[in-house]
Amino acid sequence: MSPRLWAAGAFVVLLVALAGFAAVTVPWHRATAPRADQLAALGQLPADQVARSRAFHAELRPASYGGMVLGLLVALALGLTPLGARLIELAGRPFGDHWLARAVLGGLAVALVAEVLSLPLAAWRHTVVARYGLSTQTWAAWSVDLIKSFGVGVVLGAIVLAGFFTVTHFAPRWWWAIGAAGAAGLVVLLSFVLPVVVEPIFNRFTPMPGGPLRAELLALAERDGVPVKDVLVADASRRTRAVNAYVSGLGPTRRIVVYDTMLTEATPGEVVSVAAHELGHAKDQDVLTGTVLGALGAAIAVVALYLLGSWQWLLRLAGVDSIAEPRAIGLLLAVTTVAGLVAGPAQSFVSRRVEARADTHALTLTGDAVTFEAMQRRLGTVNLSDPDPPSWEHALFASHPSTVQRMAAARAWARGDR
């Protein structure tokens, strides 16, 4: 049987595995709190704060949606015309057009073009966030973080590009199988590595000082049966006034992380409520589930790219002979960008269901719906979240239930509607 038939079979098997795993791990049937409860919650929020949050998001939308459109247009221009292939040739020319130079330097050149073109919109977004007082960064600090982010992307991108095109170069018939396994393995590895290697590049983490709050958080995790290595405080205030907390890492790297802004803006009970929500993710193995789904998705993507390589009309548009050659990096960017936009709403839908389950976990673990609702008001107010965004926008892009949905869910839980 030819490699293409094997690849087609593997594609089907991986899709079935992804669908089956998602069917049994994702909480598909989470009920949304009654709309009447949501409207009642909305009516109890200060009208000036609601108006300010909505004005904030109205000002952000042009830059946010403009960035999405620009990113798509740049990807299509680099991938569905010979422009991307020519750019990669130019990047590799000083090194004798070596395939590895084309792969790494050409791929980074394509990424740099996309980053530079999107930079004005990113600056626009920062201007809005700073004007509304959510960002605490100067332009210099913002630029440093931007450079750090690009540096991390360069390192990870170079590793991925070098690994992928080394496989396609030395295994031209079976690269899809090796590449799929490698992509899945990389997703799993990054789940362990990112919290302890990449997160400290952007924030400084210090152990939370001993005291009642630290003791309560550790006791909460123990009572929940979720072992954590430590409770850390992130210096988020150097970047933002937003409040948050999360549980990071898997197994031996798992820790509760609390923003320092949370300690100054929220009550201890609200911090515990947020931590209980995050422990729900750990308790239900949401990070592990996301890792497995991501690994399967990455493997499927690699096999799909191999199968797309038989679409000659697509290769002709890009001006390349094979989807497995470095000159096709622009085409790969175009395909993955379109796929990401198409898959985005489904990913958001799944994320909202997972977050709603973690909310229920927090309510059950703490037994305190009043503090949970107060915490949601705090998060929404300080973080300038639109408490009740347009339904179409929420469905397409929201990763969490809205503020009023979460407040209403707490009220429904308190009534016994569980």
Active site residues: 278, 359
The per-residue DSSP string of 255-297 comes to EEEEEHHHHHHS-HHHHHHHHHHHHHHHHTTHHHHHHHHHHHH
- Which residue pairs from 264-270 have beta carbons closer than 8 angstroms and sit at least 24 positions apart in sequence? 264/237, 265/241, 265/378, 265/382, 266/375, 266/378, 267/371, 267/374, 268/212, 268/213, 268/216, 269/368, 269/371, 269/374, 269/375, 270/371, 270/374, 270/375, 270/378
Beta carbons of 279 and 226 less than 8 angstroms apart: yes
Write the single-letter amino acid at 395.
A
Burial class (CB in 10 A: 0-12, 13-18, 19+), 190: middle
Beta carbons of 209 and 239 less than 8 angstroms apart: no
355 known ligand binder: yes
Closest to 381 (Cα-Cα) out of 269, 243, 238, 258: 243
102 vs 91: CA distance, rounded Å = 6
Query: Which residues contact residue 210 at a Cβ distance below 8 angstroms, ignoring those fewer than 6 apart?
Result: none
Q: Which two tokens stand for residue 407?
A: 């407040």
Beta carbons of 259 and 236 less than 8 angstroms apart: yes
Which residues are part of a known binding site?
277, 281, 355
Which residues are part of a known binding site for Zn(2+)?
277, 281, 355
